[in-house]
Amino acid sequence: MTMNRSFNRLMIICSALFLFAGCAGKHEEVDNQPFFAWMDAYLAVEANVEQSVAVTMFFEHAPFSPDEIAGISFAGLKDQVVVDHFRVDRPKRLKGQKYSSYGITLNYLAKATGRYQTSGIVITLESNEAIPYPIGTWVFDVGEPGAGKVNTWEAPAATANATQFPYRFSLEHSQGMVTRIYYSPDRYIENERGIPPEGTIDLTEHYSSPIVYIRSKIVLSEDGKEYMDYGKGCYCGAVNVTEEAIEASRIHNQI
């Protein structure tokens, strides 16, 4: 059952990123340099548990082929958050578009608890050339294993609105209540009497990127004790992105 849910969620994410890539490229004046979709991110994850995240590179002319990529790492976090393996989709281009795109899925492992920040990735080619690419401000909030008391499979994998983070959860074998949901390292919603199992969190005061990726950290209170669980991740704003958002990505993430 878990495998089916994971597969279905991956398909939703890929579809969302495909829609994102499909609306790019209608500007008449563009730089020839490749750039990544601007996506700030908060990633609350368990230490030593493999996770994955998807990013998108846009270009007029491919800077390299997928086969030329020898490795990918997070800038400044080569030892703390390790990309075990990655997948680069073949370039996609729709008729009438200026840009083509690579969809890149990064499978990574956070080695130890703590908070780690990066602003992009480094792509190393077979020629040993290492190219840093800005993406956005990413914070990995790495914690202990989740308690397995909160089920967030119902939460959406991607949305069209970058200013709101929708959440939806149910409790697994617990009579407790969710009292706090983190959507950034130091920002959260809180209710000591219990947070409703469905709602949205306003992101406008903390994030300005066209896409915001959030893997939430969830605090559950039960019998006077607190337990930690984690969301599955949502790409807020990844569906039906505007031309203005693509241009903002180009300007913000140019190398």
String of DSSP letters for 13-63:
HHHHHHHHHHT----SS--SS-EE--EEEEEEEETT--EEEEEEEEESS-S
Q: Where are the domains of the chain?
A: 2-143+241-252, 150-234
Of 65-74, 176-185, 245-254, the range with the lowest mean pLDDT is 245-254
- Give the confidence band of 240 by pLDDT, cuts at 50, 70, 90: confident
**pLDDT score for 1:** 42
- Give the confidence band of 244 by pLDDT, cuts at 50, 70, 90: confident
Which DSSP symbol is given to 231? -
CATH topology identical between 2-143+241-252 and 150-234: no
Give residue 53's identity as a one-letter amino acid code: V
**pLDDT score for 13:** 54
Domain covering 2-143+241-252 in this structure, CATH number: 2.60.120
Q: Which CATH class is domain 150-234?
A: mainly beta
3-state secondary structure 55-106: EEEEECCCCCCHHHEEEEEECCCCCCEEEEEEEECCCECCCCCCCEEEEEEE
Tell me what the pLDDT averaged over the chain comes to. 88
- Give the confidence band of 8 by pLDDT, cuts at 50, 70, 90: very low
Of 54-58, 159-163, 174-178, 238-242, the range with the lowest mean pLDDT is 238-242
Which residue did the predictor score with more confidence, 217 or 174?
Answer: 217
Whether the per-residue pLDDT at 16 is higher than 70: the answer is no
- 6 vs 8: CA distance, rounded Å: 6
**pLDDT score for 168:** 96
Which residue did the predictor score with more confidence, 94 or 164?
Answer: 164
**pLDDT score for 97:** 60
- Give the confidence band of 78 by pLDDT, cuts at 50, 70, 90: confident
Tokens of 33: 């340099």
Tokens of 64: 């390299």
- 9 vs 165: CA distance, rounded Å: 17
CA angle 253, 137, 214 (to 5 degrees): 120
Mean of pLDDT values over 13-39: 60
**pLDDT score for 96:** 52
